């Protein structure tokens, strides 16, 4: 069942890829919108790739009217999959209304949360509304490492939140960001995720951007540590095959961006103020949902990737990996 | 054709897209997006026609014949491939009965 095959033949194999790997060129709309609904967060995590934290909401975050207009546009365009992240998405005052709108229009929605607002009532509500999954960040298998990383956070509370999700019957995903002080717990963390009933476990390389720039000296892993980290994940992938999907990106940022230059993903990153980024790991903005429609932004998304400044940034990154520190100084294409 | 369709027993519940699978038509055909595994499957126009038939609630047993007519295929190839496609959809967990 090959893409773009013509004639009557159905073919025998359906090509498979992922939203992040699906090229955007031939698609009429994105397959995935990753929306950072607010920059506000109850925690002040050391490794946060955004510049989120308490009191860090952008002054120009989208109004309620704008938020629901964007959601309406996304669902009118049949974007099949959305995620709400932040900051902490559950502190957005209209969070549940947004969830209700997306799910009510049959959109598949994932919530990416730190797990601190997952009370039994909220979990039951998420279940009732029909979210596809809730991804909880559990960057540690112990209270000591988790609380060290997630400043103002509490391991037990996050754990309780995940248990509440399970009790409510909400599909669970666990996310794990490695640092020099929690990487050794990865094996136990994967086991814990399985024990908590997660169906997916995600990890990858922690990025030098956002809040992590200031704390990098306390976080950074050596390549040797990463080797061990990924070795354990490979082992766990096999161990949990068929029970829990262990998914991780070993690819370095530069490699990923070089690939993306020629194969932009069918994914839009929406910031709390409606700016749309090409990809999280680049500073480039290709549209503004306060001024343009989602359809207009998508129509020029491919072209924006071809802007010479994008390739130049990636080339410069090869010489100076520290350039990721400037990802939040947006460059308008 | 009867041989291929024999695997579809009479009285089976109707096949439909699985709960976490989204379907969207595109200029080139369509995409099926399995949002739990986050896998995307790209379909050509003929496969798209098959899924459209499923979406319309058409009985699985009627679809090969309908597409044979639509694509004016006397060779039997379409019917065989549609049945193989059904099997593939099942194997990948993209449909449920």
> Is the distance from CB of A164 to CB of A120 less than 8 angstroms?
yes
ipTM over 0.85: no
Helices (H) and strands (E) in chain B, counts: 4, 5
Which pLDDT band holds residue A21 (cuts at 50, 70, 90)?
low
Q: Sign of dihedral through CA atoms A140, A144, A148, A151?
A: positive
Q: What is the pLDDT of residue B8?
A: 43
Beta carbons of A18 and B38 less than 8 Å apart: yes
The crossing angle, in degrees rounded to 10, of helices B63-70 and B77-91 is: 140
The pLDDT tens digits of the residues spanning A147-178 come to 999 999 999 999 999 999 999 999 999 999 99
Domain range list for chain A: 32-250
Residue matched to tokens 């009532």:
A121
Classify the phi-psi angles of A12: left when phi > 0, otherwise alpha if psi is within -120 to 50, otherwise beta. alpha
For residue A23, give the DSSP letter: B
**pLDDT above 70 (res A6):** no
Q: Tens of pLDDT along A188-197?
A: 999 999 999 9
Q: Is domain A32-250 annotated with CATH 3.20.20.70?
A: yes
pTM (predicted TM-score) = 0.88
Q: What is the pLDDT of residues B13-72, one digit of tens each?
A: 688 999 889 999 999 899 999 988 888 999 998 899 999 999 999 998 999 999 998 888
Domain locations along chain B: 15-96
Q: Which of B35, B44, B82 is closest, CB to CB, to A4?
A: B44
Of chain B residues 55-74, which have a CB less than 8 A from chain A? 71, 73
For residue A184, the 8-state DSSP code is: G
Name residue, tokens 């579809």: B8
Q: Using the predicted structure, report yes or no on whether residue B93 has a pLDDT greater than 70.
A: yes
What residues contact residue B54 under an 8 Å CB cut-off, 6+ apart?
B15, B16, B17, B60, B63, B95
Q: What is the pLDDT of residues A304-315, one digit of tens each?
A: 999 999 999 999
Q: What pLDDT is recorded for position B50? A: 94
**Closest residue to A31, CB basis, from B33, B36, B88:** B33
Residue-level pLDDT at A243: 95
> Which of A1, A14, A80 lies nearest to residue B35, judging by beta carbons?
A80
Three-state DSSP class for residue A321? helix
């Amino acid at each position: 069942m090959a893409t773009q095959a013509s004639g009557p033949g159905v073919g025998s194999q359906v090509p498979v890829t992922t939203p992040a790997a699906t090229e955007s060129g031939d698609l009429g709309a994105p397959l995935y919108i990753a929306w950072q609904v607010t920059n506000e967060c109850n925690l002040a995590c050391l490794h946060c790739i955004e510049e989120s934290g308490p009191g860090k909401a952008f002054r120009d975050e989208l109004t309620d009217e704008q938020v629901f207009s964007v959601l309406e546009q996304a669902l009118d365009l049949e974007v099949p999959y959305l995620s709400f992240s932040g900051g902490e998405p559950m502190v957005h005052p209209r969070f549940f209304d947004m969830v209700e709108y997306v799910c009510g229009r049959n959109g598949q929605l994932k919530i990416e949360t730190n797990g601190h607002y997952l009370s039994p009532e909220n979990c039951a509500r998420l279940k009732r509304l029909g979210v596809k999954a809730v991804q909880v960040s559990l960057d540690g298998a112990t209270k000591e490492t988790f609380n060290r990383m997630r400043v103002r956070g509490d391991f037990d509370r996050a754990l309780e939140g995940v248990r509440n999700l399970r009790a409510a019957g909400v599909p669970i995903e666990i996310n794990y960001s490695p640092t020099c002080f929690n990487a050794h717990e990865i094996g136990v963390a994967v086991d814990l995720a399985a024990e908590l009933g997660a169906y997916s476990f995600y990890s990858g390389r922690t990025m030098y951007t956002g809040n992590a720039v200031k704390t990098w000296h306390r976080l950074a892993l050596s390549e040797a540590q990463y080797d061990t980290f990924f070795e354990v994940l490979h082992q766990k992938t096999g161990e949990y095959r068929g029970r829990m999907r262990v998914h991780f990106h070993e690819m370095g940022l530069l490699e990923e961006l070089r690939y993306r230059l020629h194969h932009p993903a069918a994914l839009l990153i929406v910031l709390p103020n409606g700016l749309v980024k090409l990809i999280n790991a680049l500073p480039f903005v290709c549209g503004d949902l306060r001024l343009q429609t989602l359809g207009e932004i998508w129509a020029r998304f491919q072209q924006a990737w071809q802007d010479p400044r994008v390739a130049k940034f990636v080339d410069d990154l090869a010489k100076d990996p520290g350039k990721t520190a400037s990802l939040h100084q947006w460059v308008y294409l | 054709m009867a041989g291929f369709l024999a695997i579809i027993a009479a009285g089976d519940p109707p096949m439909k897209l699985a709960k976490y699978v989204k379907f969207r038509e595109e200029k080139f055909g369509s995409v099926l997006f399995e949002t739990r595994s986050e896998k995307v499957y790209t379909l050509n126009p003929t496969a798209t026609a098959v899924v459209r038939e499923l979406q319309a609630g058409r009985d699985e047993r009627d679809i090969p014949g309908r597409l044979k007519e639509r694509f004016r295929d006397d060779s039997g190839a379409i019917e065989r491939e549609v049945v193989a496609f059904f099997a593939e959809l099942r194997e990948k967990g993209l449909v449920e009965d």
